[in-house]
Amino acid sequence: QEQLVESGGAVVQPEESLKLSCTASGFIFSYYSIHWVRQAPGKGLEWVALISYDGNKKYYADSVKGRFTMSRDNSKSTLYLQMNSLKPEDTAVYYCAKRFGVAFDVWGQGTRVTVSS
């Protein structure tokens, strides 16, 4: 069955960097665009970024533009989110989600990022 598994979440200090991974199985990874979505504690979901199936196009929310970078390695069915200059407001559970039309049809269980001094 189609599955996404996130990893790499950690506790870091403000201004530090962190790289998240998202590994796919059960579908042809290289065919699909993938999103990152996050949920801060006690808050709703927030769309973060999208990368096209071939990695050539990337789109970011204003809140992370210039600090976060998405990439992918289709040979490894893995997606990455490089997060730099982290802020306390980046504290959240980060989900990767497969694009289905204009919706998100397969989600991972999430990985937790805490930014605190």
Strand partners, 100: 103
Sketch the per residue contact string, 1 through 30, with another protein: x for CB under 8 A, - otherwise.
Answer: ------------------------------
Q: Which stretch binds another protein (CB under 8 A): 15-23, 70-78, 79-87, 93-101?
A: 93-101
Tokens, residue 78 = 């893995």
For residue 65, the SS3 value is coil
Give me the least distance between CB of 73 and another protein, in Å please: 22
With binding defined as CB under 8 A, does residue 109 bind another protein? yes
63, HSE (Cβ side, Cα atoms, 13 Å)? 12
